[in-house]
C-alpha cells in the first residue's frame, strides 16, 4: 500500500521540478548571447484585487515590488528571433502584499514572459507571462474561512501588461504600465476563486555601458527563407483536480489524457494545428462507482451507473497555436467537448448553494443548467509551457517534449496537467 502523503509530496515535487526546469531552459535560451544584451527593470506596482467571493476580507490597495531581467535578441541568429523582430524575453521575480496581512498575506512570484512592441510603436510594449506563485496565507475552514481565493501554497500565475516609455535617456527608459494579474491553483483544491488584480506600474529600464555598446554594434542578419513543415503529434498526460468542497471529495485525484494532432509549422516559429483528445476523470468515475448521492436510485443521474467509465469520460476536438522559442514552446488551445456527461453532476453540486454535504438534504438548491453551464460544458481551453529535447530551430524530423499545462472549462480551471509528447515533421 502506497503512503498517500508520500505520493502527494512526490507529485508536488515533480510538478515544481518540471516548472523550474522549464524556467531554467528559458533562461538558457536567453543566455545564448553575450550578457551585454541584458537590461534590468525594477518595477513598483499598485492596484486592487477584485473580491473573490461575497464575504471576501476587507483590504487596502495591493502593492508589488518586481525585479525584471530583460533579454534583447537583435543579434540572436535563431530563426524565431529574426522572425519576431524586437521581441524580448525575460523573467520577473516579485513580492505582492494584498492589503490584508492577516487574512490574505503575501505572494512570491516567478514569471517568465515575452515583451513586444505594439502597432510598430517603439515606446509602447505588451508583456505576457505565465509562471508560479507561493502564498503565505490560504483558505482554512476554521481560521481563514472568508479568503476563498486560494487554498494551496503554490498557484499558477498569469500576467498581461502594457508599458509606455514616457521618458528615454541614454542610460534609463522610464515606463508607466497597466495590466492584469491572475492567480489560480488549476483546480487542484477547492475553494479556488482565484486572485484577479487590476494594476498600474512605474518602472525604469536600466541600460549598462555594455548594453549601449551592444545596441551600437547590432549585426543585421540576412532574412531567413520562408519554410513550412507539416507535422503529426501524439501526447499523453496525467492531471490532478478535486471535485467539490466536501472533504471526502476535496482530495486530489487523477485525470488521464491522450490526444493526437496534425498541423503546420511556419518558419520554425509558429505552430498551428487541429486534433482530437480523450480524457477520463478519476473523481467522476469514483463518484459514480461509489453510488454517491446524485447517482443513487431515484436521483437525477442514476442511469450513469450503467456505464461509469463512459460517463466519466470526455472527448472532443481542438485547434491550437504555439510560439516556438527553440527549446521552449508557449501553447494556447481552444476546443469543443462532444461528450462530458459527468460535468452535469459537478455543476449541480458546485454551482448551487455553498458547502454542499455529501448526502444532500431535501430542499437544497442545485446549480441550474443555464447558458453559463452550456458554454462551459461545450468549450475547453488549455494553456501551458513545453520543453523540447531537440531545439526546434534545427527542424528535427523526430522530437520529444515535456510540458506543464492548465486546462479549463471555458475560463474556469478544470485540472492541472503534466504531459509528454512525440512530434514527427515532414
pLDDT at residue 23, rounded to an integer:
55
pLDDT per residue over 323-346, tens digit each? 999 888 999 999 999 999 999 999
Give the Cα separation of 351 and 356 in Å (integer): 10
pLDDT at residue 30, rounded to an integer:
53
Is residue 306 classed as helix, strand or coil in its secondary structure? helix
**Domain membership flag for residue 397:** yes
Give the Cα separation of 242 and 226 in Å (integer): 46
**Domain membership flag for residue 222:** no
209 and 239 assigned to the same domain: no
**Domain membership flag for residue 57:** yes
β-strand partners of 404: 385, 418
Please check the confidence at residue 18 and state whether its pLDDT lies above 70.
no
**Domain membership flag for residue 79:** yes
> What's the alpha-carbon Rg for the chain, to the nearest Å?
23
Structural domain total, the chain: 2
Owner of C-alpha cell 531545439:
391
Please check the confidence at residue 228 and state whether its pLDDT lies above 80.
yes
- Pairing type for strands 379-388 and 328-339 reads antiparallel
Q: H or E element: which one contains 28?
A: helix 4-30
Owner of C-alpha cell 502564498:
135
Provide the CATH number for the domain around residue 94.
Answer: 2.40.160.20
β-strand partners of 422: 234, 400
48 and 103 assigned to the same domain: yes
Give the Cα separation of 85 and 82 in Å (integer): 6
42 and 167 assigned to the same domain: yes
Last residue of a domain, one of 216, 249, 279: 216
pLDDT at residue 26, rounded to an integer:
55
- Over pLDDT 90: what percentage of the chain? 55
Give the Cα separation of 407 and 44 in Å (integer): 31
**Domain membership flag for residue 253:** yes
Give the Cα separation of 250 and 139 in Å (integer): 13
177 and 62 assigned to the same domain: yes
Owner of C-alpha cell 506596482:
45
Average of per-residue pLDDT across 42-53: 91
Q: Which domain holds residue 143?
A: 32-216
pLDDT per residue over 195-226, tens digit each? 889 999 999 999 988 887 877 777 777 777 88
Please check the confidence at residue 258 and state whether its pLDDT lies above 80.
yes
243 and 193 assigned to the same domain: no
**Domain membership flag for residue 78:** yes
295 and 157 assigned to the same domain: no
CB 201 within 8 A of CB 43: yes
CB atoms within 10 A of CB 278: 14
CB 415 within 8 A of CB 383: no
Please check the confidence at residue 33 and state whether its pLDDT lies above 60.
no
**Domain membership flag for residue 221:** no
412 and 306 assigned to the same domain: yes
The predicted model scores a pTM of 0.85
Say which DSSP state 246 is in: S
**Domain membership flag for residue 409:** yes
267 and 210 assigned to the same domain: no
Say which DSSP state 249 is in: G
155 and 77 assigned to the same domain: yes
Last residue of a domain, one of 216, 243, 260: 216
121 and 268 assigned to the same domain: no
CB 147 within 8 A of CB 102: no
- Over pLDDT 70: what percentage of the chain? 91
Give the Cα separation of 251 and 239 in Å (integer): 13
Give the Cα separation of 331 and 214 in Å (integer): 31
201 and 240 assigned to the same domain: no
Please check the confidence at residue 76 and state whether its pLDDT lies above 90.
no
Give the Cα separation of 106 and 195 in Å (integer): 12
261 and 398 assigned to the same domain: yes
Say which DSSP state 378 is in: H
Last residue of a domain, one of 155, 190, 216: 216
pLDDT at residue 1, rounded to an integer:
38
Give the Cα separation of 31 and 328 in Å (integer): 13
CB 75 within 8 A of CB 214: yes
pLDDT at residue 68, rounded to an integer:
95
Amino acid at each position: 500500500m502506497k503512503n498517500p502523503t508520500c505520493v502527494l509530496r512526490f507529485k508536488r515535487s515533480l510538478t515544481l521540478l518540471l516548472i523550474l526546469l522549464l524556467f531554467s531552459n528559458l533562461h538558457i535560451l536567453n543566455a545564448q548571447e553575450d550578457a551585454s544584451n541584458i537590461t534590468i527593470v525594477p518595477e513598483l506596482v499598485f492596484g486592487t484585487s477584485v473580491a473573490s467571493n461575497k464575504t471576501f476580507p476587507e483590504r487596502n490597495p495591493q502593492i508589488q515590488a518586481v525585479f525584471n531581467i530583460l533579454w534583447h535578441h537583435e543579434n540572436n541568429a535563431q530563426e524565431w528571433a529574426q522572425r519576431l523582430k524586437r521581441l524580448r524575453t525575460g523573467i520577473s521575480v516579485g513580492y505582492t502584499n494584498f492589503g490584508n496581512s492577516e487574512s490574505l498575506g503575501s505572494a512570491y512570484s516567478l514569471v517568465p514572459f515575452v515583451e513586444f512592441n505594439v502597432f510598430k510603436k517603439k515606446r509602447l510594449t505588451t508583456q505576457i507571462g505565465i509562471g508560479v506563485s507561493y502564498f503565505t496565507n490560504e483558505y482554512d475552514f476554521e481560521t481563514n474561512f472568508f479568503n476563498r481565493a486560494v487554498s494551496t501554497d503554490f498557484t499558477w500565475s498569469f500576467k498581461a501588461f502594457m508599458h509606455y516609455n514616457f521618458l528615454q535617456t541614454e542610460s534609463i527608459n522610464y515606463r508607466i504600465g497597466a495590466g492584469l494579474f491572475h492567480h489560480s491553483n488549476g483546480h487542484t483544491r477547492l475553494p479556488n476563486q482565484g486572485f484577479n488584480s487590476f494594476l498600474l506600474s512605474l518602472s525604469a529600464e536600466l541600460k549598462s555601458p555594455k548594453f549601449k555598446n551592444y545596441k551600437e554594434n547590432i549585426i543585421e542578419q540576412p532574412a531567413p527563407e520562408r519554410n513550412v513543415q507539416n507535422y503529426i503529434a501524439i501526447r499523453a498526460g496525467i492531471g490532478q483536480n478535486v471535485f467539490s468542497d466536501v472533504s471526502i471529495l476535496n482530495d486530489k485525484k487523477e485525470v488521464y489524457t491522450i490526444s493526437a494532432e496534425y498541423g503546420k509549422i511556419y518558419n520554425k516559429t509558429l505552430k498551428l494545428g487541429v486534433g482530437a483528445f480523450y480524457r477520463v476523470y478519476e473523481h467522476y468515475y469514483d463518484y459514480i462507482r461509489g453510488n454517491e448521492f446524485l447517482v443513487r436510485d431515484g436521483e437525477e443521474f442514476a442511469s450513469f451507473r450503467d456505464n461509469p467509465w463512459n460517463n466519466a469520460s470526455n472527448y472532443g476536438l481542438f485547434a491550437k497555436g504555439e510560439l516556438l522559442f527553440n527549446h521552449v514552446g508557449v501553447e494556447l488551445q481552444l476546443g469543443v467537448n462532444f461528450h462530458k456527461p459527468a460535468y452535469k453532476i459537478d455543476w449541480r453540486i458546485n454551482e448551487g448553494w455553498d458547502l454542499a454535504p455529501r448526502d444532500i438534504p431535501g430542499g437544497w438548491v442545485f446549480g441550474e443548467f443555464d447558458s453559463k453551464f452550456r458554454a462551459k460544458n461545450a468549450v475547453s481551453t488549455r494553456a501551458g509551457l513545453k520543453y523540447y529535447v531537440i531545439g526546434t530551430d534545427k527542424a528535427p524530423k523526430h522530437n520529444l517534449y515535456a510540458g506543464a499545462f492548465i486546462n479549463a472549462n471555458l475560463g474556469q480551471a478544470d485540472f492541472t496537467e503534466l504531459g509528454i509528447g512525440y512530434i514527427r515533421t515532414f
